[in-house]
Structure 1
Amino acid sequence: MGLKFHFFPAVFHDETLHSVLSRYARLCGVRSCAAVFDGAQSAKCFSQNVAFPCRLAELVEALPCDTGLSLAAVIKRHTQLPYYEPFLTPQQVDDANILMAGNGKGLMLRLGLIASRLEFASRVRFCFDCVQQDMACVGAAYWHRVHQLPGVLICPHHGTPLRFLDYRWLSRNSRRMHLPDDEDVQSHSIPLDIPQNLQSALHEIAHRSMQVLEIDVPPLCPDAIRSVFLDGATTLEMASDTGRLHLGRLARHMSAFFEVLPSSGEYSILSKSSAYIPAAWVVKLLRKPRGTHHPLKFILLACALKVDMERILRQNGPITESLNRTANTETPGGRAANGSPTDRSSTNEYMSEASETIWRLALSGADAKTMASVTRNSVTCVYRMIRAISDGPDRWKEARLSKQLGDRRNRFEGDYRARLAHECRDYVWLHRNDRQWLSERTQEPGKAHRPRGQQADRFKDLDLNLANEVVQCAEMLRALPGKPVRISRTKIGRELHVLSRFEKQLNKLPHCAAALAAECETLDAFHRRRLSWAEWKLKLDGKPITQSALYRTACLRKFQI
């Protein structure tokens, strides 16, 4: 025989599903789960006092028609999923609704709570004043969802410390249906001993938690939340205008913030940090958020940075729209061609001026070091700002590839005028990545591809150009800082990428051969230059000049001289 309710009590505001079913059990005159639900196997899944009950589809199907409770209404009004929903992804919310309607297998893992120590630190709690008020107003005491939220130790309605059930007694009676006014519950409840100086901060946290629970918003954009937090950190001078965190100041501020909070339960887990670096979860939320985080972390950080929760919970639409608009209206090709700065009306209003400069340089194909040098930021900060933009890394990659492609094409065309295609320095890269353009370009003959009757003129032009390049290369090698490098035909050929020409065609290049003979130094001349440098180096370092010191500094051996 399937599960069927012949009547069902009216539900109250902010009541947990376990509380509604417990009142139903009291009206039936029984307490055990098996007796109330006729041994239905699914009852143990939706009747326990947990944050995410499951098998809710079977429960809703068994309810009387006049209750007006749909599956969505049960999840939205009588479970804790609305508390987590703003900080989950849309896919996670959809999966949670499906799993709560079904058997719930893998639900905690899907929401990222399976490894969260905050959930294990939570207890079943109630407010004595709320019990009295509920009995006077609606005629029955019931469990409030807001009292069961992690970190809520003060009643947001009355500002009084909550009472929590002894977990040892609760674990032995987890299958029974309880209400806050039961004698067993009252006798096994323990009042929270919270000093008066801590109650103000805890009351604010409870009020913010209730805001998150009761407000109906879709999943928020992580970049939007981060922008609001960064604004708060910047106002408190814990972050620069470019979004770079001052970790020392932030660590001291967070330590002072946790001093007015209890040192047990959830707060003992989140308050762990060093003297100079804040807790890892704080840095993650203020930098690029990866994955999902527990709502209590967002609430605590908002309290610490004096950010209004209403501002966080109501900022999703405009920021998401702004990011999407920027991604759709600005392409790497268009920016590279126009070179004009981004119109502020089409950029994310939460990006700082430095972020806009970095993004403008990124779309022009600049590398990370160049952007860091121009904006006076670290390379890490550059990467972080680009990752904070929707599709930023992919679009930056396309822009860099476009710039590299243009640079290599221009360089190849310059080399191709005087050299064969396979001798040009960018031939191999273009052959791999831009073969069609390379094939079309090499069909047009350059100076190096004239008929054989004009080969003499080609070598004459090439000879003069190479002779000048040899002289310039030799001067460059002599001017190199540090230990002298021997100027030889091989070294110059490798620097100019013409070593094979020196080996095979030097007899056709008289000016080039003369330049090489004049600029290349003998082994003895090189050793003398190296020893002169070693003597200068020893004098500069203030060390004694001895024969062994000279040879050692010059990296020479006696038999080489």
Structure 2
Amino acid sequence: MINFFPILYKDELLFSAISRYKQMCGIISNQALERELFNKIRQKLVFFPIHLDALISNLPPNSKITVEEIIKFHSMAPFYTSFLSSEKTKEIYSAMTKGNKSNVERIAGIGGSRVKSGDRLRYCPLCFKYDLNENGISYWRRLHQIPGVLYCPKHKVLLKDSKVIITDYWSEYYCADEDTCNSKLKDDNFPARIRELNMRYIENVCDLLYGNTKRKELSFIISFYIDKLRERGLASQGGTIYMEKLVENFLHFYPLDYLELMQSEVNTEQEANWLRIFVRYNNKNRSPLRHLLFLQFLEIDVVEFFNTKKVIGKQTTDKKRTPLYKIEEKRNEWLKLINDNPHANRSELKRIGKGLHTWIYKYDREWYNQVTPRSKTRKKRADVIDWEKRDEECLELAKNAVGELYQTEGKPKRISPLNIRKIIGVKRWFNHQKLVKTRQFIKEITEDIDSYRIRKIEWAIKEMKKDGELLTAYKIQRKVGFDGGDTHIKELIMKVLSKYERFEN
């Protein structure tokens, strides 16, 4: 049993409090620290602390800290379990209490998720400055570590990467102090729309972290989404989602750069992109970040979603209806209509006897087909499309569109099938399999993501040189609008920057 333990600040990660305890006690060895607190050397998860029952048993007798308090207010569990069922949430809480790290990762779907946390702890420079002035030391806030949170909601400034690298298991216990953080503000070059979207996202994140929301089953969640899509005209009355329309509206709502920052780019050429899979009834892992993105697109806040009691979702009609009128009576009426209009075809008869036609066609279709005359004159068949000619025309349009994309002023746009079609003003028919040359050209000209990033980096360097700015990797990254936590992006920037420096020398 230990003699004391630091008071936990509001929204402080347990990892942060343990780091402060280590510094206060002057403990050098992480192994000694963990034996003292947890009775064992453990693989520590920075965001999901485990062996919490052992920790609580080792705290001083007068300590009021509980396992439930740590999980709910000092770990990331409320965020990652918010869209899981009550049963799975309880499993994760149990694993954190007893120390089963593999269960936490597996159930929460962290390992296989495409949405990753950053590789460093993040902080707000103004929160850091305030903490130092008030308490002499700062701490690691869990809100700042949530994927997709770009700003501090209190000070409305961009979060920064600290010097503390987190690799899930063997992270060092470092405090948020002047050795790992500083109060210098980060340049904010994001457009107003991105700031606005992210601040709304952060509001919903806060509702997940601090609200006492009841968990919903996945089937309920998907049914809720279908209901809301139906209200917006993006799904049929039966619940069939108009997928092309949904993707189009989603990409109109969110700028591509923002989706890239949120690790949620939608590849429209991929049949199984995350958005298409997201709104279907299946057991695929879904990141809380993407749930919040989708709710924000639907203009639904988290509180409204969790307060919803009933949903409809997909509807199937199996019930057989019994005709209200005798079939013989209706047959006689239909025969009289045919006799009274001897030259009318089926379409004209349908118009003349609108309600009667609907009834007969629904309940007595076989007889209807036997007695109802068909049109004797066929419509003139449409001219056959000359696909070779159309292919040449479309190829020319595609080439012109690519040229226009390359000549776009300002930040470069990616050469992609979607952007090419947007410039031309056409939809997915432009990808028809008979447009062989056009499809081949678009396939060859399409930029992979790294080529596009390099082009954006080169653009940023040219703009900064034109303005006489000092070229640094950090400034280039902010000019382009890349997320600071991606090491691959930083490597690309350094590669391009070194090429320019060699060329100038």
Partner of 1:303: 296
Q: Separation in 1 of the partners of 2:255 and 2:215?
A: 32
Alignment deviations for residues 389-446 of structure 1 (CA, whole Å, 9 cap, x no partner) = xxxxxxxxxxxxxxxxxxxxxxxxxxxxxxxxxxxxxxxxxxxxxxxxxxxxxxxxxx
Partner of 2:97: 101
Match of 1:53 among 49, 52, 57: 49
Q: Contact 1:179–1:185 at 8 Å: present in 2 too?
A: no
Q: Contact 1:162–1:192 at 8 Å: present in 2 too?
A: no
Helix, strand or coil at the partner of 2:161:
strand
Q: Could you list the runs of 5+ residues in structure 1 that have no partner in the other structure? A: 320-349, 365-478, 480-561
In the TM superposition, what is the alpha-carbon distance from 1:288 to its structure 2 partner? 1.8
In the TM superposition, what is the alpha-carbon distance from 1:311 to its structure 2 partner? 0.9
Q: Contact 2:81–2:108 at 8 Å: present in 1 too?
A: no
In the TM superposition, what is the alpha-carbon distance from 1:212 to its structure 2 partner? 1.0
Q: 1:260 to 1:131 in 2, by over 3 A?
A: farther
1:358 is aligned to 2:336 = no
In the TM superposition, what is the alpha-carbon distance from 1:5 to its structure 2 partner? 1.6
Q: Could you list the runs of 5+ residues in structure 2 that have no partner in the other structure? A: 323-369, 371-505
1:147 is aligned to 2:141 = no
Partner of 1:195: 190
Partner of 1:29: 26
Q: Separation in 1 of the partners of 2:240 and 2:22?
A: 57
Alignment deviations for residues 126-173 of structure 1 (CA, whole Å, 9 cap, x no partner) = 111222333455554111111111111112222211011357x55699
In the TM superposition, what is the alpha-carbon distance from 1:193 to its structure 2 partner? 5.5
User: What is the correspondence of 1:53-202 to structure 2 with a 5 Å cutoff?
Assistant: 53-107=49-103, 108-119=105-116, 121=118, 123-136=120-133, 140-166=137-163, 175-186=171-182, 191=186, 194-197=189-192, 198-202=194-198
Q: Separation in 2 of the partners of 1:36 and 1:11?
A: 18
AA at the equivalent of 1:180: A
In the TM superposition, what is the alpha-carbon distance from 1:121 to its structure 2 partner? 4.9
In the TM superposition, what is the alpha-carbon distance from 1:258 to its structure 2 partner? 3.5
Partner of 2:265: 271
User: What is the correspondence of 1:106-505 to structure 2 with a 5 Å cutoff?
Assistant: 106-107=102-103, 108-119=105-116, 121=118, 123-136=120-133, 140-166=137-163, 175-186=171-182, 191=186, 194-197=189-192, 198-259=194-255, 261-262=257-258, 264=260, 267-268=262-263, 270-274=264-268, 280-290=273-283, 292-315=285-308, 318-319=309-310, 350-351=311-312, 355=315, 358=317, 360=319
Q: Percent identity?
A: 23
Q: Separation in 2 of the partners of 1:299 and 1:181?
A: 32
Alignment deviations for residues 250-290 of structure 1 (CA, whole Å, 9 cap, x no partner) = 1112223331653645x23x21321696x643333433243
AA at the equivalent of 1:66: N
Partner of 1:9: 6
Q: Separation in 1 of the partners of 2:235 and 2:270?
A: 15
Helix, strand or coil at the partner of 2:81:
helix
Helix, strand or coil at the partner of 1:184:
coil
In the TM superposition, what is the alpha-carbon distance from 1:234 to its structure 2 partner? 3.1
AA at the equivalent of 2:268: S
Q: Separation in 2 of the partners of 1:263 and 1:18?
A: 30
Q: What is the RMSD computed on CA atoms of the aligned residues?
A: 3.4
Q: Separation in 2 of the partners of 1:207 and 1:45?
A: 34
Q: Contact 2:73–2:209 at 8 Å: present in 1 too?
A: no
Q: What TM-score results when the alignment is normalised by the length of structure 2?
A: 0.56
AA at the equivalent of 2:233: E
Q: Separation in 1 of the partners of 2:208 and 2:68?
A: 18
Partner of 1:472: none
Helix, strand or coil at the partner of 2:258:
coil
Helix, strand or coil at the partner of 1:67:
coil
In the TM superposition, what is the alpha-carbon distance from 1:42 to its structure 2 partner? 5.3
Helix, strand or coil at the partner of 1:124:
strand
Q: Larger radius of gyration, structure 1 or 2?
A: 1
Q: Contact 1:51–1:80 at 8 Å: present in 2 too?
A: yes
Q: Separation in 1 of the partners of 2:135 and 2:317?
A: 59
Helix, strand or coil at the partner of 1:178:
coil
Helix, strand or coil at the partner of 1:165:
strand
Q: What TM-score results when the alignment is normalised by the length of structure 1?
A: 0.51
Aligned length: 321
Q: Contact 2:46–2:166 at 8 Å: present in 1 too?
A: no
Partner of 2:478: none
Helix, strand or coil at the partner of 1:96:
helix
Helix, strand or coil at the partner of 1:58:
helix
Q: 1:261 to 1:13 in 2, by over 3 A?
A: farther
Partner of 2:476: none
Q: Separation in 2 of the partners of 1:192 and 1:32?
A: 38
Helix, strand or coil at the partner of 2:149:
coil
Alignment deviations for residues 74-94 of structure 1 (CA, whole Å, 9 cap, x no partner) = 111111111122311233222
Q: Contact 1:126–1:147 at 8 Å: present in 2 too?
A: yes
The structure whose residues are more often helix, as a share, is 1
In the TM superposition, what is the alpha-carbon distance from 1:37 to its structure 2 partner? 4.6
Q: 1:13 to 1:289 in 2, by over 3 A?
A: farther
Helix, strand or coil at the partner of 2:2:
coil
Higher mean alpha-carbon deviation, 84-93 vs 69-78, is at 84-93
Q: Separation in 1 of the partners of 2:63 and 2:87?
A: 30
AA at the equivalent of 1:113: I
Q: Separation in 2 of the partners of 1:308 and 1:40?
A: 40
AA at the equivalent of 1:302: L
Q: Contact 1:254–1:304 at 8 Å: present in 2 too?
A: yes
Q: Separation in 2 of the partners of 1:263 and 1:31?
A: 42
Q: Separation in 2 of the partners of 1:15 and 1:361?
A: 60
Q: 1:156 to 1:190 in 2, by over 3 A?
A: closer
Q: Separation in 1 of the partners of 2:167 and 2:201?
A: 28
Alignment deviations for residues 336-384 of structure 1 (CA, whole Å, 9 cap, x no partner) = xxxxxxxxxxxxxx337x82x626469x9xxxxxxxxxxxxxxxxxxxx
Q: 1:14 to 1:192 in 2, by over 3 A?
A: farther
In the TM superposition, what is the alpha-carbon distance from 1:102 to its structure 2 partner? 2.3
In the TM superposition, what is the alpha-carbon distance from 1:60 to its structure 2 partner? 0.9
In the TM superposition, what is the alpha-carbon distance from 1:25 to its structure 2 partner? 1.9
More RCO (CA 8 Å, sep 6+): 2
